[in-house]
Structure 1
Amino acid sequence: MIFRALIILSFFSFINCENGKSELPPAVLGYIALDYLILTDPDRSSVYFSTVRSVDLEVAYETDAEPFTGNYAIGGSNIWSVTDSNLQDVFADRGYSVAVTVPTDLSEMNEIPNQNRSSWSVNQLLGLVPKYRKRTSDFQSTSFFIMYVRGQLADAPGVIAVTVSGILGIGPPVIFVFKDMIDQFDSISPDKVEKAEQITVTHELGHALGLVNAGIPLYSSHQDKEHGNHCTNESCGMFWALSGTKVETFSPASPLIFGQECRDDIRNYNP
């Protein structure tokens, strides 16, 4: 299991995926089986950036953990236009069109019952997926599943959100957003918490797509190996932590959060 997370960087301190017997050796059989699983898995970067022609988001939320929707108080643009703009940019300039569908209203998202948890293990989070995920991906269409929950990750209480993939990265990535952690940004100012949430969602979608060096190869050396699949550029949305300063200076009028290094990775990836 592989998981990648974004954590809060506070102003003062850090807050912390009957044929008969074969004559091939078992190790070789294992490699063959793994190779087969990889080739039949549509949820991987090499598929997203080759045969896929439509991408959508399925968003579910626990009661009282609903995502922010509507328009920003300043500028008036739709809150989810940040995620939409970044996904549109990800699939731009590829020589073919990819239709991107992002929900913008709670009526387009799915409410699930209150789970009455203040902390979660990764396995408990994953237990929600077969109950509430409705869509699947294939080699032409990709659907990313995002679930908002209350509480926090038990072993990493500073985590704002986490992207979990299957064993060896095989299987659909699932994004979990911890609403209680997002709400901490409300102490900065009311309109900043919506920005923090959208930066977080876009960051996790970056992981799901294969950033940084997690499916999409590096075009230049910018992986922060100390913090896993994150970018060394502190102004990039794929930096490992989200600071109050970054949220304050972010403008939905200029919604692209990925730095040029990550965008170059994507533009130069042609599987």
Structure 2
Amino acid sequence: MFFRAILLLLILFCSNCENQKGESSPLIQGFLALDYLILTDPDRSSVYFSSVRSASVEIAYENGAEPFTGNFATAPTTSIWSVTESNLVNAFADRGYTVDVNVPQDLSSMEEFPDQGRSTWSINQLLALASKYKEQSSNFQSTKFQVVFVKGSLAENSGVIAVTVSGAFGIGAPVVFVFKEIINHFQDSISPDHVKKAEQMTVTHELGHALGLVNAGIPLSSDHQDTAHGSHCSNTTCGMYWALGDDRVNSFSPGTNPLIFGSECIADIRNYTP
């Protein structure tokens, strides 16, 4: 099979990143995106934004690394996972056809797997785990993303918040791995919903990479790629910006506006007609 392997981003940032709370200790943060594009595979941007008519997210979690579910305390009528759902719905909007989006909202709709007893993970170990718990595969009409929550950290860099691996040698749909212990660093915030918002912003950011942002399958419609940080947006208020600082999380109000992608990234998506 002919394929082209593209390393989108090795390490976006991994150290000396302040939580931006003054006296608090540094919060090590990071995102990682690896994209292996297999041209005959349905899991790629040109398929997502042409023939796909349904998109769903499978969520699995290690015992002890459960994602947050329920509603936000500061927005009691807003489901936590409606943030991910709303951003996917918006990504597929205004294309002249409807894409049905399905995102689980509670733990009963997600799959729990046993404690893996690991403090660190290699990419190969993560991929092996994902394939073990993958339930459905994508086709050219229906896309199946996968989000997996694990304990521990990435062996290559312990400060990475999440890693997205796309279409790696036939593994199927893009897989987002979220390192729950890194997310939990946000619990020191004064906002009770802070860590929940950080988790949803992380998941949505990584699914943005899976879709093809920024300039990683979806071409740029304006000059807004932060090339110094790989496939990220130079707009500091965009959800595809490279840093997930305390101020950005605090300013996010999911009950008022759950959308995190900036106007530049949305314009890229709207103008993309493969």
TM-score range, shorter chain: 0.7 to 0.9
Equivalent pair of 2:41/2:167 in contact (CA under 8 Å): no
Question: What SS does structure 2 have at the residue aligned with 1:203?
Answer: helix
Unpaired runs of 5+ in structure 1?
Answer: 18-34
Question: Cα RMSD over matched residues?
Answer: 2.1
The residue that corresponds to 2:99 in the other structure is 98
Matches within 5 A, 1:108-123: 108-123=109-124
Change (3 A) 1:64 1:14: closer
The residue that corresponds to 2:65 in the other structure is 65
Following superposition, the deviation at residue 166 of structure 1 comes to 4.1
Q: Measure the CA separation in 2 of the matches of 1:184 and 1:116.
A: 20
Q: Measure the CA separation in 2 of the matches of 1:52 and 1:88.
A: 13
Q: Does 1:10 align with 2:11?
A: no
Change (3 A) 1:168 1:61: closer
Equivalent pair of 1:70/1:79 in contact (CA under 8 Å): yes
Which stretch of the first structure deviates more once superposed, 216-225 or 157-166? Answer: 157-166
The residue that corresponds to 2:178 in the other structure is 177
Amino acid at match of 1:257: I
TM normalised by structure 2 equals: 0.87
Question: What SS does structure 2 have at the residue aligned with 1:66?
Answer: coil
Following superposition, the deviation at residue 127 of structure 1 comes to 1.2
Q: Measure the CA separation in 2 of the matches of 1:170 and 1:217.
A: 24
The residue that corresponds to 1:20 in the other structure is none
Amino acid at match of 2:173: P
Matches within 5 A, 1:116-155: 116-155=117-156
Equivalent pair of 1:6/1:160 in contact (CA under 8 Å): no
Q: Measure the CA separation in 1 of the matches of 2:108 and 2:218.
A: 34
Matches within 5 A, 1:77-96: 77-96=78-97
* Structure whose alpha-carbon radius of gyration is higher: 1
Identity among equivalent pairs (%): 60
TM normalised by structure 1 equals: 0.88
Question: What SS does structure 1 have at the residue aligned with 2:144?
Answer: strand
Following superposition, the deviation at residue 167 of structure 1 comes to 5.0
Once the two structures are superposed, residues 72-104 of structure 1 have per-residue CA deviations (whole angstroms, 9 ceiling, x without a partner) of: 001211001111111111011100000000100
Q: Does 1:263 align with 2:272?
A: no
Unpaired runs of 5+ in structure 2?
Answer: 21-25
Q: Measure the CA separation in 1 of the matches of 2:186 and 2:69.
A: 16
Equivalent pair of 2:84/2:204 in contact (CA under 8 Å): yes
Following superposition, the deviation at residue 15 of structure 1 comes to 2.2
Change (3 A) 1:168 1:227: farther
